[in-house]
Amino acid sequence: MKRRVLVVVLALSSGCGFDRERPSPIETDEQANLSVEVLSPRTGTVLGAGTDVTVEVSARDLSGDRLEGIGFVARRSGSGGNATLDSLAQATGGGTLAVREFTFTVPALLPVNTQIDLFGIAYGPGAQVRVSAPRSVTVIPCMENVPGC
């Protein structure tokens, strides 16, 4: 009797000793075909330092309704690591298309002719993310009689 118990225990324990694929609680099998772009401001736009600018982003899931969120990032170009100046994201609650406007305040102390790159971000299920091509804008000092100031 002891031998049978020992054989059964050994057989059961050896079956559990190998590595196998296990599902992750944070990653899903769902895939989205994400697309995202910054609609405004246009590349080449000149912004006054210290002013507010509206960043409009459009994101979509081209193959379904798994768009989970939308956002933007503003980075200072050429600053050694492209320092992030501002960023924001919002949940969409699913769907195929989202267009959002975000307000970004251009830092008042940036040097003249600083280039800022604006990126749109689309979030899908799990850790799925798509980043747009940048829209580059230029910063000038904000003075009287300067358009946009």
pLDDT of residue 100: 97
- Tell me, yes or no, whether 14 lies in a domain: no
The residue behind tokens 């246009």 is 42
Q: What are phi and psi of 42, to 5 degrees?
A: -75, 155
pLDDT of residue 87: 97
Q: What is the CATH number of the domain that holds 118?
A: 2.60.40.10
Q: How many domains does the chain have?
A: 1
- Tell me, yes or no, whether 26 lies in a domain: no
pLDDT of residue 8: 46
Q: What are phi and psi of 31, to 5 degrees?
A: -125, 140
In this prediction the pTM is: 0.77
- Tell me, yes or no, whether 147 lies in a domain: no
At 35, list the tokens: 């697309």
- Tell me, yes or no, whether 109 lies in a domain: yes
- Tell me, yes or no, whether 19 lies in a domain: no
- Tell me, yes or no, whether 44 lies in a domain: yes
**CB of 87 within 8 A of CB of 73?**
yes
Q: What is the pLDDT along the chain (149 residues), one digit of tens a residue?
A: 555 544 444 454 555 555 656 656 655 567 889 999 999 999 999 999 999 999 999 999 999 899 999 999 999 987 666 689 999 999 998 899 999 999 999 999 888 899 999 999 999 998 999 999 999 999 998 777 766 66
At 63, list the tokens: 């193959």
Domain that holds residue 120: 32-140
At 84, list the tokens: 């992030």
- Tell me, yes or no, whether 12 lies in a domain: no
Amino acid at 36: V
- Tell me, yes or no, whether 125 lies in a domain: yes
pLDDT of residue 28: 56
